[in-house]
Amino acid sequence: MSKFMLLNGPNLNLLGSREPEIYGSATLEDIENKLDAIASKSGHELICFQSNAEHDLVDRIHLAKKEDVKCIIFNPGAFTHSSIALRDALSGVGIPFIEVHISNIYSREDFRQNSFLSDIAEGVISGLGVEGYKLALKSGIEKYS
Ligand code: CA2
């Protein structure tokens, strides 16, 4: 049994309530339940956490190291495009992570086309909708359990 983490950043708690044309109709709870089922089916544990606060995400990443989390599936939301603190936290703990975006950030506004995290991620999935989270978890389990 290995531990995996699903981490979501700011405003992703609003999934399913607004902008379905960009982010689909699934709620964050739907996504967490689906990924939890994938993890338990393969005999693993999934820790789910969402926060709108950068420092809470940093603290959760630090705690993940103590918990021996093997891989983080991370949608950093808008912090993708701004947060050196999250980059430092992830490189500081050295836990492999897969960056996931529901939308294709490269087909949107210019300011979304830079990620402070992608070059240190194991991989990046962008634009496959919520399916991207499932693919990332399956890949993480395959590689790190
Ligand atoms: O495409 C993604 O997953 C993003 O990480 C989502 C972020 C955005 O800032 C990134 O550029 C790309 C925004 C998440 C906001 O989620 C909402 C969901 C429903 C309604 C309103 C916002």
Q: Is the CB of 111 under 6 A from ligand 1?
A: no
Dihedrals φ, ψ of 101, to 5°?
A: -125, 135
Nearest CA to ligand 1 atom 7: 77
> What are the b/e assignments for 24-33, b being 16+ CB within 10 Å?
bebebeebbe
**In what helix (H) or strand (E) does residue 98 lie, and over which residues does it extend?**
strand 97-101
Angle at 76 between CA 73 and CA 113, to 5 degrees: 115
Nearest CA to ligand 1 atom 9: 78
pLDDT at residue 138 tops 90? yes
- Res. 18 pLDDT band, cuts 50 70 90: confident
pLDDT value for 55 = 98
Alpha carbon 1 to chain centroid, angstroms = 21
How far is ligand 1, taken at its centre, from the CA of residue 96, in Å?
22
Q: Is 81 a catalytic residue?
A: no
Pairing of strands 45-50, 123-126: unpaired
How far is ligand 1, taken at its centre, from the CA of residue 104, in Å?
10
Q: pLDDT tens digits for 32-66?
A: 999 999 999 999 999 999 999 999 999 999 999 99
